[in-house]
Amino acid sequence: MSVVRVLLRDQALVRIREAIVSGELPPGGVVKDAELATRLGLSVAPVRTALARLADEGLVESKPQSHTRVTAVVPAAVRDAAVVVRAMHELAVRTAVPTVTADDVAAMRTANAAFAAAVGAGDVDAALDADDALHAVLVARCGNGAVTATVDRFTPLVRRLERLRFAAAHGADSVDLHDRLIAACEHRDVEDAVSVTTAIWTALLAELSEETP
């Protein structure tokens, strides 16, 4: 497979996943690969490959010779995914903090400032993007490909429900927890950093467990 073909497949995967997480492609919506390819300005082949990957991730479901549809948001399945993501972030933090750099800490501070601004403005999508950017610093620093792959695999499932239930109060609490995490990373306090990470994801799990309004 050529590099160009791989890049197009990856581009299709990222863009379709983002459309599903944002709700642009809503739960239950039928996805037609040819129409989606035209919409994205891509050929059908990379779109089909991306949809097959997204089926593995649980974001779409396909019936042979019938249709491909965006899956419904199932809170119980999302909570299961969130437990896995929490464990991966705890492992990433435990591995990353001993070697975290000043640039890593600065990047996390920048991301948390963007997160706080987005929460204040009520911009849920920007808040979730900034939150992902903050935690991605430690996932990248840990250097564990399996952790990265697992986080990439399950986080979109969590974000879909989190986007629907995002509350300003929860966001404000997260800003403070992020500050504590950053301070622990700066001082290379592994146990405190892991503890705060657990608190962040436990609070999110509690949020996701509430009944949908």
Neighbours of 53 (CB within 10 A): 18
Structure tokens at 105: 């800490």
Neighbours of 63 (CB within 10 A): 8
Same fold, 3-70 and 75-209: no
Task: Quote the pLDDT of residue 3.
Answer: 46
Task: Quote the pLDDT of residue 96.
Answer: 98
How many residues can be counted in the chain?
213
Q: Which long-range contacts (CB under 8 A, 24 or more apart) does 173-177 make?
A: 173/203, 174/115, 174/119, 174/131, 174/200, 174/203, 175/112, 175/115, 175/116, 175/119, 177/203
Q: What one-letter code names the amino acid at 68?
A: T
Please report, for the chain, the start and end positions of each structural domain, with discontinuous segments joined by +: 3-70, 75-209
Task: Quote the pLDDT of residue 2.
Answer: 47
Task: Quote the pLDDT of residue 213.
Answer: 41
Q: Tell me 72's DSSP state.
A: P
Structure tokens at 68: 């491909």
Mean pLDDT by 10 residues, the chain (213 residues): 63 91 91 89 90 91 83 91 96 98 98 96 92 97 97 92 76 92 98 97 84 45
Q: Are 153 and 84 in contact (CB under 8 A)?
A: no
- The CATH superfamily of 75-209 is GntR ligand-binding domain-like (1.20.120.530)
Structure tokens at 205: 């799990």
Sheet of strand 67-70: strand arrangement: 30-31, 67-70, 60-63
Q: Are 155 and 21 in contact (CB under 8 A)?
A: no
Task: Quote the pLDDT of residue 98.
Answer: 97
Structure tokens at 183: 């301070």
* pTM for the predicted model, two decimal places: 0.86
Grouping H, G, I as helix, E, B as strand and the rest as coil, residue 210 is coil
Task: Quote the pLDDT of residue 210.
Answer: 67
Task: Quote the pLDDT of residue 181.
Answer: 98
Q: Tell whether domain 3-70 is in CATH 3.30.565.10.
A: no
In this structure, what are the phi and psi dihedrals at residue 84, rounded to the nearest 5 degrees? -65, -45
